[in-house]
């Protein structure tokens, strides 16, 4: 498991902290939020994302902020749990200066998205979400149908794999897997304890990290498994044990050797560790949100949440990952045609 040198986040123990790169500035301040786990099982995942967002905020403030304002970051800890995610989303909504939120970060925190939508707060997710979970928000993660198809393809690319068992509660992922016309049997995530390693059959796990690691450990190193970005959690390898060596995970972002090297160097200087794929997604999401705030506040425009949401719809995303999904799932829909669905890059990573 990786550790991060920057752990100055004492305030998270009581719920939140605010950081701005221009402490001596007299300019007005606007805020962006982050809802992520900073304690318990997924704390390293939260800190990885936090450092990327902090880097983006610092860079933007050094360049003059957005629309004549400095940017502050408010981070709330959800421990990767739905009930805490909803509570933290409600807290974000109370602060009218918070114009947008990065999160949810983990599958278990998906409830934060609809809570934010209900309060009229723009948000950008870093984890895979079903269409109903994504309604009103944006995501930089792979869509479920893309993930389902890609997981099947990745498994069948292995020489000894002839069929796949897909564990997912997303009908869209099941449809994506079925579209490959491969031999796929689909099971709900609740069937995790019933899965038995069968010769020639690969396992696709599209659920949260803790149970995925437990499944990998139970199947052992003889099984081949592919997971969602949850399998990229910093806790996964330790929980999966030796079986982690036969697990891969899929993401919309590249590994460190394919990232822009200036980003890697600056992140390393801040965090004391190389960035992972989730870090570059978080960095991209932050810059997209800041660009939307700058657009919304340009000229005589009123910089508020509604304006930021409109700007996000207008901008799409031209960052490293290359796409933003709004809840518009028409086949072949392109940004130029007025919706936010674009081709999704897919990267495969080893668990480590």
- Asked if residue 265 and residue 119 are part of one domain, the reply reads yes
Per the CB < 8 A criterion, the answer to whether 152 and 224 are in contact is: no
Q: What is the pLDDT of residues 57-87, one digit of tens each?
A: 999 999 999 999 999 999 999 999 999 999 9
H/E segment holding residue 35:
strand 29-36
In a domain, 351, yes or no: no
Confidence at residue 166, expressed as pLDDT on a 0 to 100 scale: 97
Tokens of 1: 């498991």
Least confidently predicted of 16-20, 79-83, 238-242, 265-269: 16-20
Tokens of 54: 């902090």
- Please, which pLDDT band fits residue 330 given cuts at 50, 70 and 90? very low
Query: CA-to-CA distance for 41 and 281, rounded, in angstroms?
Result: 21
Q: Which of 202, 229, 251 is the last residue of a domain?
A: 251
Query: 59 or 1: whose pLDDT is higher?
Result: 59
Q: Which of 251, 267, 283 is the last residue of a domain?
A: 251
Confidence at residue 262, expressed as pLDDT on a 0 to 100 scale: 87
Closest by alpha carbon to 108, among 15, 40, 173? 40
Confidence at residue 136, expressed as pLDDT on a 0 to 100 scale: 86
Distances in whole angstroms, Cα of residue 132 to Cα of each of 111, 114, 144, 328: 11, 9, 11, 11
Q: What is the pLDDT of residues 155-214, one digit of tens each?
A: 999 999 999 999 999 999 999 999 998 999 999 999 999 898 788 999 999 999 999 999
What's the domain count of the chain?
2
Q: What is the pLDDT of residues 119-140, one digit of tens each?
A: 999 999 999 999 889 888 988 8
For residue 238, pLDDT beyond 60: yes
Give me the mean pLDDT over the 270-275 stretch.
96
For residue 287, pLDDT beyond 50: yes
Q: Which residue range(s) make up the domain with 321?
A: 10-141+259-344
In a domain, 26, yes or no: yes
Query: Residue 126: phi, psi to the nearest 5?
Result: -115, 5
- Please, which pLDDT band fits residue 261 given cuts at 50, 70 and 90? confident
- Asked if residue 101 and residue 33 are part of one domain, the reply reads yes
For residue 344, pLDDT beyond 90: no
Confidence at residue 19, expressed as pLDDT on a 0 to 100 scale: 52
- Asked if residue 155 and residue 201 are part of one domain, the reply reads yes
- Asked if residue 266 and residue 123 are part of one domain, the reply reads yes
- Asked if residue 263 and residue 204 are part of one domain, the reply reads no
* Cβ-proximal residues to 138 (8 Å cutoff; 6+ apart), any chain: 122, 123, 124, 125, 288, 312, 324, 325, 326, 340
In a domain, 5, yes or no: no
- Asked if residue 206 and residue 94 are part of one domain, the reply reads no
Per the CB < 8 A criterion, the answer to whether 251 and 277 are in contact is: yes
Query: CA-to-CA distance for 131 and 3, rounded, in angstroms?
Result: 34
Least confidently predicted of 10-14, 38-42, 213-217: 10-14
Query: CA-to-CA distance for 210 and 228, rounded, in angstroms?
Result: 12
Q: Which of 251, 281, 303 is the last residue of a domain?
A: 251
- Asked if residue 131 and residue 18 are part of one domain, the reply reads yes
- Asked if residue 188 and residue 275 are part of one domain, the reply reads no
Q: What is the pTM of this model?
A: 0.87
- Asked if residue 16 and residue 133 are part of one domain, the reply reads yes
- Asked if residue 150 and residue 135 are part of one domain, the reply reads no
- Asked if residue 129 and residue 265 are part of one domain, the reply reads yes
The pLDDT mean for the chain works out to 85
What's the CATH number where 171 sits?
3.40.50.2300
Query: CA-to-CA distance for 203 and 221, rounded, in angstroms?
Result: 12
- Please, which pLDDT band fits residue 326 given cuts at 50, 70 and 90? very low
H/E segment holding residue 221:
none
């Amino acid at each position: 498991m990786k550790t991060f040198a920057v752990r100055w986040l004492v305030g998270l123990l009581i719920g939140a902290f605010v950081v701005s790169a221009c402490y001596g500035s007299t300019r007005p301040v606007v805020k962006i939020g982050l809802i992520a786990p900073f304690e318990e099982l997924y704390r390293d995942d939260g800190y990885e994302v936090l450092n990327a967002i902090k880097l983006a905020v610092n860079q933007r403030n050094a360049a003059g902020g957005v629309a004549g304002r400095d940017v502050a970051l408010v981070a709330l800890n959800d421990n990767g749990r739905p009930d805490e995610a909803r509570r933290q989303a409600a807290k974000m909504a109370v602060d009218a200066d918070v114009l947008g939120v990065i999160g949810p970060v983990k599958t278990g925190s998906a409830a934060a998205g609809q809570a934010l939508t209900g309060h009229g707060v723009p948000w950008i997710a870093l984890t895979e979400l079903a269409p109903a979970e994504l309604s009103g928000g944006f995501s930089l993660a792979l869509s479920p149908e893309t993930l389902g198809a890609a997981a099947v393809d990745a498994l069948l690319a292995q020489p000894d794999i002839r069929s796949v068992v897909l564990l997912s509660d997303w009908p869209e992922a099941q449809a994506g897997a079925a579209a490959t016309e491969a031999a796929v049997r689909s099971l709900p995530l609740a069937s995790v304890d019933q899965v038995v390693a069968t010769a020639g059959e690969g396992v696709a796990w599209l659920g949260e990290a803790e149970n995925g690691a437990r499944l990998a450990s139970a199947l052992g190193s003889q099984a081949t498994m592919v997971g969602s970005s949850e399998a990229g959690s910093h806790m996964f390898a330790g929980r999966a044990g030796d079986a982690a060596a036969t697990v891969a995970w899929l993401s919309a972002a590249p590994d460190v050797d394919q990232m822009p090297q200036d980003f890697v160097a600056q992140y390393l200087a801040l965090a004391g560790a190389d960035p992972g794929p989730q870090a570059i997604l978080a960095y991209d999401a932050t810059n997209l949100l800041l660009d939307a705030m700058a657009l919304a506040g340009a000229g005589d425009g009123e910089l508020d949440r509604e304006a930021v949401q409109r700007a996000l719809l207008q901008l799409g995303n031209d960052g490293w990952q290359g796409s933003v999904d709004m809840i518009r799932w028409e086949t072949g829909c392109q940004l130029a045609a007025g919706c936010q669905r674009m081709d999704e890059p897919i990267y495969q990573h080893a668990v480590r």
